[in-house]
């Protein structure tokens, strides 16, 4: 059951990445439900705001693939970072067809970096949990 919940959350976060990447206004001024402080922060730290949802993507990808055999763990980690890179490339590539948006290679870099930090955070929490159990 937890596997399905993690998959649902992962798909929800990926959907949010695509939604915000493909909005016509890069300043998010049409998104009235977002707090003003968050809009100001996201417009001030333009590329860094890309890394934030990818923290969750990296974390959830690692949680989703947790049941793999330990022999493939390093391959799984690299594969998950690759998947996050593909998601970032698709999100940025979609901006080619949106009139007021333009793709930025640094967003792909920040997306991969955010995913890497999220995946490392998951593995760190898992190691801490296992250390407390022994």
**DSSP per position, 97-128:** GSTT----HHHHHHHHHHHHHHHHHHHHHHHH
Please answer whether residues 119 and 66 qualify as being in contact, where contact means their C-beta atoms are separated by less than 8 angstroms: no
Please answer whether residues 84 and 112 qualify as being in contact, where contact means their C-beta atoms are separated by less than 8 angstroms: yes
pLDDT of residue 59: 95
Please answer whether residues 43 and 27 qualify as being in contact, where contact means their C-beta atoms are separated by less than 8 angstroms: yes
Q: Domain coordinates of the chain in residue numbers?
A: 2-133
pLDDT of residue 1: 81
Please answer whether residues 10 and 64 qualify as being in contact, where contact means their C-beta atoms are separated by less than 8 angstroms: yes
**pLDDT per residue rounded down to tens, the chain (134 residues):** 888 899 999 999 999 999 988 888 877 777 778 888 888 888 888 888 889 999 999 999 999 888 655 555 667 888 889 999 999 999 999 989 988 888 889 999 999 999 999 999 999 999 998 888 87
**Tokens 């290679």 appear where?**
105
SS3 17: helix
pLDDT of residue 116: 95
pLDDT of residue 68: 56
């Amino acid at each position: 059951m937890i596997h399905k919940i993690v998959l649902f959350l992962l798909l929800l976060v990926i959907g949010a990445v695509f939604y915000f990447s493909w909005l016509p206004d890069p300043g998010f001024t049409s998104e009235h439900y977002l707090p003003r402080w968050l809009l100001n922060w996201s417009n001030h730290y333009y590329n860094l705001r890309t890394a934030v949802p990818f923290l969750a993507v990296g974390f959830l990808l690692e949680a989703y693939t947790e049941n793999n055999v330990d022999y493939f763990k390093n391959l799984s980690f690299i594969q998950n970072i690759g998947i996050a890179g593909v998601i970032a490339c698709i999100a940025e590539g979609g901006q080619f067809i949106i009139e007021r948006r333009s793709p930025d290679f640094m967003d792909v870099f920040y997306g991969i970096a955010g995913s890497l930090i999220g995946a490392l955070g998951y593995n760190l929490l898992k190691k801490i949990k296992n250390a407390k159990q022994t």
